[in-house]
Amino acid sequence: MNTPADLGHFLRTRRAALRPEDVGLVAYGRTRRVPGLRREELAQLAGVSVAYYTRLEQGQSHNASDEVLDALARALRLTRDEHAHLRNLARPARAGRLPAVRPATAAPGVRQLVAALAVPAVIVDHRFDVLGWNPLGHALLAGHLDAGSPERPGERPNLQRLFFLDPHARELYPRWEAEARRAASSLRLAAGEHPDDRRLAELVGELTMKSPEFAALWSRHPVRGCASGSKCFHHPVVGAMELSFEMLRLPDTGGQGVLAFSAEAGSADEAALRLLATAAATDGDRAGRASDAIAIGGKY
């Protein structure tokens, strides 16, 4: 849940990241007691009083106008994602018990589409819970897990939990530190957009307690939406790959999306992906034959 303290922490981290010369102010030679901009310097740039900005940063003002927030965003050189996050934080939800949340489900048409894709694809909700995946998506991201786990709400994998707490992620992502920053930034943005989500708050708490790396990143208040880009993998079956990804948001679903990966045509990465597809299909055939044998009381 967003609180006035979250707003103050976010403002302080962004204020500390700017130097006077970054924003056209004169930096005098004397030693500065705080990193980055002083409160009075930021207030001057945003066109608000120092007293008002201080109350805002200390969580004592709960009705900042859009004009004030926009001025602060400009003064702090916020990105579009950070600007949206600032607005979310400035309007904290009322205190109280967080409502119970029903397990999310993906629409049949989305599941059918993902199953038909020839590239790795995963359906996730705004918490990064896996609602479904095709065989290649499962093989790429979590081949060591039961392929049917997304169908059981109590056992659904969560991409953030897998990344920070599953030791396989350390092997799968050779650029783990860079991916960790991206993962924490995406989760922070989701937390700002869904302040009343109990399970999302519990996930953040679990990662903070169990992963020192996540706790350190979270304390820096990173905010960034990652809708596209590239990821490097070192897959245990096919080795090194660099794949492009796209997060395709699904309208009217409360934040669900399809995360799909692809490789450049004719590249070694595409060849590795085809090899992984072959391996995934073979494993699927074996699992299917084993299931049929058990069903008829036979022996596989």
Query: What are the pLDDT tens digits along the chain (300 aa)?
Result: 566 688 889 999 989 888 887 777 766 555 666 778 888 889 989 999 999 999 888 878 777 888 999 999 999 999 999 999 999 888 765 555 545 567 789 999 999 999 999 999 999 999 999 999 999 999 999 999 999 999 999 899 999 999 999 999 989 999 999 999 999 999 999 999 888 898 999 999 999 999 999 999 999 998 988 899 999 999 999 999 999 999 999 999 989 999 999 999 999 999 999 999 999 988 766 555 444 443 445 443
pTM metric for this prediction: 0.83
- Assess if residue 98 is contained within a domain: no
Domains identified in the chain, total number: 2
**Residues 129, 250: one domain?**
yes
**Residues 115, 74: one domain?**
no
**Residues 54, 119: one domain?**
no
pLDDT at 225: 86
102: tokens are: 């029903």
Range(s) of the domain holding residue 283:
108-294
pLDDT at 94: 53
d(CA 271, CA 119): 12
**Residues 130, 269: one domain?**
yes
- Assess if residue 161 is contained within a domain: yes
**Residues 51, 190: one domain?**
no
Please, what is the angle between helix 80-89 and helix 66-75, to 10°? 140
The shares of helix, strand and coil residues in the chain, as percent rounded to the nearest 5, are 50, 10, 35
**Residues 78, 121: one domain?**
no
Which amino acid, residue 113? L
pLDDT at 293: 43
**Residues 267, 120: one domain?**
yes
The secondary structure of residue 93, as a DSSP letter, is: P
**Residues 17, 164: one domain?**
no
124: tokens are: 């996730």
- Assess if residue 99 is contained within a domain: no
Q: What angle do CA 194, 127, 209 make, to 5 degrees?
A: 95
138: tokens are: 């499962």
- Assess if residue 142 is contained within a domain: yes
